[in-house]
Amino acid sequence: MPGRTWELCLLLLLGLVLGSQEALPPPCESPIYCHGELLHQVQMAKLYQDDKQFVDMPMSSAPEQVLQRFKELANAHNHSIPQQQLQGFLEEHFQAMGQELQPWTPEDWKDSPRFLQKISDLKLRAWAGQLHQLWKKLGKKVKPEVLRHPERFSLIYSQHPFIVPGGRFLEFYYWDSYWVMEGLLLSEMPETVKGMLQNFLDLVQTYGHVPNGARVYYLQRSQPPLLTLMMDRYVTHTNDIAFLRDNIGTLALELDFWTENRNISVSLGEKSYVLNRYYVPYGGPRPESYSKDAELADTLPEGDREALWAELKAGAESGWDFSSRWLVGGPNPNLLSSIRTSKFVPVDLNAFLCQAEELMSKFYTSLGNDSQATKYRNLWEQRLAALKAVLWDEEKGAWFDYDLENGKKNQEFYPSNLAPLWAGCFSDPGVVDKALKYLEDSKILTYQYGIPTSLWKTGQQWDFPNAWAPLQDLVIRGLAKSPSPRTQEVAFQLAQNWIRTNFDVYSQKSAMYEKYDISNGGQPGGGGEYEVQEGFGWTNGVVLMLLDRYGDRLSSGTQTAFLEPHCLAAALLLSLLLSFLPQ
Ligand SMILES: *[C@@H]1O[C@H](CO)[C@@H](O)[C@H](O)[C@H]1NC(C)=O
Ligand SMILES: *[C@@H]1O[C@H](CO)[C@@H](O)[C@H](O)[C@H]1NC(C)=O
Ligand SMILES: *[C@@H]1O[C@H](CO)[C@@H](O)[C@H](O)[C@H]1NC(C)=O
């Protein structure tokens, strides 16, 4: 008998040891901000215009107490609490949103960063100076209360201050931060970038992945994986190899998250390829868009609702929330309830991971770890082969999302179709000029105010007529990799178009926006789940990048029809003739 007891004891200890190795906190547990009757009643009562408002409000007392009071209130009204009582309850137990954050002026902010001098057009230079000032408005720091009482806040504590997108987005976001960091490095603020990087690395250490944003209700999903690229940009700028060495293991952990939880195998004939997809295996409405998700689910049979919510979350994980891109080929591609994000192998996601694998190989080489360098080089080569076999279309000259359910590529236009160019994820240099032809064939170069997100007008924000800064960057820097002067000239013209749109709107409204409507001469964008937001982190970052790269040529003047092929040809001919004229 004592022997048996010892065996049991050993098993128990072993269980504890094994269990503790996977001791990641479960994602989104809060009975106030993530699920439960309180969340349901408050969000369905629509007390605020935007569901995000309630889940961003800190509690005034401990959650147990708030829940207890709510239970009493709900019982007193037989679980249908009149609006006024509910409002009173919130006023008593919650604080206004944003209370847990304080403004922060980055310590490394300084006047007149050098890149401003590269901008010849004086109006554009003055504008860039104002965008540089905006970092001070978008800087935020978490108050120490959040560290003392994390259970009272949906905000996740971050040790280091950060730059936020702006508008309704008071916390930092994953993929937005990459373009923000590019801008910050031009503004010569590497210390701010380092702090933001450290925050992301801390999140990976705690949760095993980078959540969509720094709120508990974002923990069930990630966003396009650009952490390795952020590190590369920081290390290239500062040569801070010690920081890389200290954190390379955490970068590897983040990529493991995608390998282990977001992999998908595609069989083509005899061969099968492993790629990645966006996928969130959690049901329930998104807390920050609760009533919209609940009402959308009401249009479906009860048995289909959890799957819908999981697909909506996967759509949010893709960064494209929402878009016809995730509805194509579905039962009713006009309705958001047809969303099936996880049924596609996305071009951009796999391009981002491809780039991350190549960078990891480079990092490990620089740290003298050859075996790890080889491992990532092999992963990169496998992914190159898989991208070519599954996503590349030789006839069209572009990559396309692979539709797993229908066993074919989705040949609609999206700027993400060119993400492998941007990510350097191709072996044949000829693909860049094929991509230019693809853009011409798709008539994308006829849009003078920016590259549209898709060619479908659905009312969703990641569709026509909206144009987004990061997608301009994907195409412009992708094309600029071409050795051909003509392709490079098109990249410049696309940059010129985007700069004018942003500059003209800024001249009228003194604000930078999250997205722009390019059907209307370039105006703040619209559509989707919430009002267009001012700020705006990644928009500013991309403008600064373009002004840095093309500052000697960009102009604040009027729009031209330069991109029409015959017009381009005429312009080239004219400039040739002019060059023969006596000076
Ligand atoms: C409470 O509500 C339920 C339905 O929601 C109803 O069946 C019940 O009669 C109500 N009880 C009282 C006391 O009003
Ligand atoms: C791929 O994903 C599945 C779950 O979908 C997981 O069980 C498996 O371990 C993953 N593969 C790798 C190589 O991590
Ligand atoms: C290379 O990295 C791996 C994984 O972190 C580690 O186990 C190994 O000891 C490292 N090798 C060298 C030579 O540093």
Compute, in angstroms, the gap from residue 230 CA to the centroid of ligand 3: 22
Active centre residues (catalytic): 321, 514
The predicted pLDDT at position 2 comes to 42
Closest CA to ligand 2's atom 9: 260
Domain range enclosing 126: 107-579
Atom number in ligand 3 closest to CA 371: 1
Q: Write the DSSP symbol of residue 531.
A: -
Question: Is the residue at 263 inside a domain?
Answer: yes
The predicted pLDDT at position 566 comes to 56
List the beta bridge partners of residue 399: 392
CB of 249 within 6 A of ligand 3: the answer is: yes
The predicted pLDDT at position 168 comes to 86
The predicted pLDDT at position 578 comes to 57
421 vs 581: CA distance, rounded Å: 39
Closest CA to ligand 2's atom 7: 260
498 vs 473: CA distance, rounded Å: 10
* Nearest CA among 468, 574, 576, 464 for reference residue 520: 464
Contact 311, 341 (CB under 8 A): yes
Give alpha helix (H) positions in 94-173: 122-138, 145-148
490 vs 476: CA distance, rounded Å: 8
- Which residue has tokens 């878009």? 323
Compute, in angstroms, the gap from residue 250 CA to the centroid of ligand 2: 19
Ligand nearest to C-alpha 279: 2
Question: Is the residue at 36 inside a domain?
Answer: no
The predicted pLDDT at position 580 comes to 58
* Nearest CA among 35, 40, 69, 22 for reference residue 154: 35
CA atoms within 13 A on the CB side of 411: 10
- Which residue has tokens 């600064």? 544
The predicted pLDDT at position 71 comes to 98
Give the N- to C-terminal CA distance of the chain in Å, as an integer. Answer: 106
Question: Is the residue at 238 inside a domain?
Answer: yes
Compute, in angstroms, the gap from residue 325 CA to the centroid of ligand 3: 41
CB of 370 within 6 A of ligand 3: the answer is: no
* Nearest CA among 306, 305, 339 for reference residue 322: 339
* Nearest CA among 182, 166, 501, 459 for reference residue 323: 459
237 vs 547: CA distance, rounded Å: 18
The predicted pLDDT at position 520 comes to 82
Question: Is the residue at 48 inside a domain?
Answer: no
179 vs 538: CA distance, rounded Å: 5
List the beta bridge partners of residue 141: 102
pLDDT in tens, 17-75: 444 445 577 788 999 999 999 999 999 999 999 999 999 999 999 999 999 999 999 99
pLDDT per position in the chain (583 positions), as tens? 344 444 433 443 443 444 444 557 778 899 999 999 999 999 999 999 999 999 999 999 999 999 999 999 999 999 999 999 999 999 999 999 999 999 999 999 999 999 999 999 999 999 999 999 999 999 999 999 999 999 999 999 999 999 999 988 999 999 999 999 999 999 999 999 999 999 999 999 999 999 999 999 999 999 999 999 999 999 999 999 999 999 999 999 999 999 999 999 999 999 999 999 999 999 999 999 999 999 999 999 999 999 999 999 999 999 999 999 999 998 888 899 999 999 999 999 999 999 999 999 999 999 999 999 999 999 999 999 999 999 999 999 999 999 999 999 999 999 999 999 999 999 998 999 999 999 999 999 999 999 999 999 999 999 999 999 999 999 999 999 999 999 999 999 999 999 999 999 999 999 999 999 999 888 999 988 888 888 999 999 999 999 999 999 999 986 444 445 555 556 556 555 655 555 4
Say which CATH number the domain at 510 has: 1.50.10.10
Contact 476, 496 (CB under 8 A): no
Give alpha helix (H) positions in 56-121: 63-76, 83-93
Q: Which helix (H) or strand (E) holds 264?
A: strand 263-268
The predicted pLDDT at position 517 comes to 97
Compute, in angstroms, the gap from residue 76 CA to the centroid of ligand 1: 11
3-state secondary structure of 405: coil
Atom number in ligand 2 closest to CA 260: 14
How many domains are contained in the chain? 1
Closest CA to ligand 2's atom 8: 260
Cis peptide before 200 (omega within 30 of 0): no
Atom number in ligand 3 closest to CA 370: 13
Ligand nearest to C-alpha 367: 3
* Nearest CA among 405, 402, 441, 401 for reference residue 418: 401
Residues with CB under 6 A from ligand 2: 259-260, 263
The predicted pLDDT at position 534 comes to 85
Question: Is the residue at 307 inside a domain?
Answer: yes
Closest CA to ligand 3's atom 4: 372
Question: Is the residue at 553 inside a domain?
Answer: yes
Atom number in ligand 2 closest to CA 279: 5
Q: Which two tokens stand for residue 278?
A: 């966006």
CB of 365 within 6 A of ligand 3: the answer is: no
Q: Write the DSSP symbol of residue 464.
A: B
Q: Which two tokens stand for residue 101?
A: 């954050």
* Nearest CA among 196, 167, 168, 191 for reference residue 180: 196
212: how many CB neighbours lie within 10 A of its CB?
26
String of DSSP letters for 300-356: S-GGGHHHHHHHHHHHHHTS--S-GGGTTTSS-TTSGGG--GGGEE-HHHHHHHHHH
Backbone angles phi, psi at 126, to 5 degrees: -65, -40
Question: Is the residue at 8 inside a domain?
Answer: no
Ligand nearest to C-alpha 79: 1
Closest CA to ligand 3's atom 9: 369
The predicted pLDDT at position 574 comes to 58
- To test ligand 3's pocket by mutation, which of 250, 251, 369, 377 has the most ligand atoms within 8 angstroms of CB? 369
Query: How far from chain centre, in Å, is Cα 97?
Result: 23
CB of 560 within 6 A of ligand 3: the answer is: no
Compute, in angstroms, the gap from residue 396 CA to the centroid of ligand 3: 43
Closest CA to ligand 3's atom 12: 369
The predicted pLDDT at position 576 comes to 56
Atom number in ligand 3 closest to CA 252: 5
The predicted pLDDT at position 51 comes to 97
Atom number in ligand 2 closest to CA 256: 14
Give alpha helix (H) positions in 336-468: 347-366, 370-386, 419-422, 431-441
- By CB atoms closer than 10 A (0-12, 13-18, 19+), residue 186 is buried
pLDDT in tens, 198-223: 999 999 999 999 999 999 999 999 99
The predicted pLDDT at position 13 comes to 40
The predicted pLDDT at position 577 comes to 61
Ligand nearest to C-alpha 75: 1
Counting other chains too, the contacts that 424-430 makes at CB distance below 8 Å and 24 or more residues apart are 424/355, 424/358, 424/481, 425/350, 425/351, 425/354, 425/355, 425/358, 425/383, 425/384, 425/387, 426/384, 426/387, 426/388, 427/384, 427/388, 429/483
Closest CA to ligand 3's atom 8: 369
Q: Where are the beta strands (DSSP E) in 386-492?
A: 392-393, 398-399, 402-403, 408-409, 466-467
Question: Is the residue at 517 inside a domain?
Answer: yes
Ligand nearest to C-alpha 76: 1
Compute, in angstroms, the gap from residue 102 CA to the centroid of ligand 1: 45
Q: Which two tokens stand for residue 198?
A: 């450290």
Compute, in angstroms, the gap from residue 368 CA to the centroid of ligand 3: 9
Q: Which two tokens stand for residue 112?
A: 């007149």
- To test ligand 3's pocket by mutation, which of 241, 365, 367, 372 has the most ligand atoms within 8 angstroms of CB? 372
Instruction: Report the share of the chain in percent with pLDDT over 90.
Output: 87
